[in-house]
Amino acid sequence: MPEPEHWRAEILVATTWECNLRCTYCFVQESGLSKGDVRMSPGTAVRLVDALDEGLPHVETICLHLYGGEPLTNLPAMEAMVHRALEKGPARFSFSITTNGTILSPQVIDLLQAGKFKVVLSIDGPAEVHDRCRRTHAGAPTHERVMQFLHTLRAQTDCWLRGSSVVRSGWRLSEATEYLNTLPIDVIKAQAVRGAAGSPLALSSVEKEAYLEDLQAIGHQVITDLEAGHLPRDDRFSSRALQLLKGVPREFFCGAGNTGFGITPSGDVLPCILLDASIHRLGHIEDAPQTWIKAGQQWRASRSRRPECKECDELFLCGGGCPAMLSVCAEDECDFTRKECQVARSIFAHFHTNQDALLTMAGITWE
């Protein structure tokens, strides 16, 4: 086997498009991504592990990030995937999951612990904020169940945990960040709602300005944390600050089609799970892996930047924007990403005489 060229690949796996909630801002439901086969079979789950292991010898560790839908509604596929991946050795695969945190059982806890999952838990705020948008099909609130999931996960596993909040009209970034900081979690991130302009939950022009101000304030907190030698709880600026430290331009926004792929419940392979399979399908996990690996390279090479990107001062750090989200959020996504790049530059500039402090973002600390 050749020496790995990359240390990590992230594969977004939709084990199901089904979800036990009906969140009012869900862009997966609104975008029509959740069509076709809605549940992955255990056999497909096993095959995708084998296909990725064979197709990505140039990658040291493959992260399977379970997505959906709500992945925990399809435990048979999850279990088959985790057990097969663990057979490949302790370091070949790692696991992440984005979950709404409303499905809790001993089986769920045991599986998350067995895979040493990194858990991205959706929790928007206190009950009165969270339950306004995140309810069951029958309209029941979910905040109490999510908190029970959180505390059980903390008590019975050593899973790493990220709190994820959606910022929307009437609930600003600073408020979401303050709430997440009260919870027993490792890392936090609150982001603006993703949806078309004019939707009831979309940020107004005044709220967008407040969002940009709050991003700057988070940047100031990151600087304070780094000066104290602490790992910032909000890590949204870390990769770009470290990119500046390396001095390497970002050729693409992410690794889609190269060190990133998406796999649908039926086994179709995409550059990213958030892209339309009818347009961006690269192949199927039953195909020879080199088929969709090559198709991913061709897809990546065919991507052209928008004219405005070519003139943007932040192209070095941005790489042209997320192709999936730009189609959903249009210029809002671009404006928010541009601001994140600017804040990352301010963090980097603050430590221009003490760049070792930035390595804390990579988990490197100095005694």
pLDDT score at 36: 56
User: What pLDDT is recorded for position 35?
Assistant: 59
Residue 38, pLDDT score: 80
Q: Which two tokens stand for residue 91?
A: 């370091």
At residue 1, the pLDDT reads 42
Give the torsion sign (CA, 42, 70, 255, 113): negative
Q: Give the per-residue pLDDT at 3.
A: 47
The answer to whether the Cα torsion of 71, 77, 80, 84 is positive or negative is negative
What contacts 49, CB < 8 A, 6 or more positions away? Answer: 64, 81, 84, 85, 88, 93
For strands 260-263 and 6-14, give the pairing.
parallel
**CA separation for the pair 239, 131 (Å, rounded):** 32
Of residues 77, 151, 54, 57, the one with CA closest to residue 109? 151
pLDDT tens digit at each of 367 positions of the chain = 444 557 899 999 999 999 999 999 987 765 555 555 589 999 999 999 999 999 999 999 999 999 999 999 999 999 999 999 999 998 999 999 999 999 999 999 999 999 999 999 999 999 999 999 999 999 999 999 999 999 999 999 999 999 999 999 999 999 999 999 999 999 999 999 987 667 889 999 999 999 999 999 999 999 999 999 999 999 999 999 999 999 999 989 999 999 999 999 999 999 999 999 999 999 999 999 999 999 999 999 998 888 888 889 999 999 988 887 766 666 788 899 999 999 999 999 999 999 999 999 998 865 5
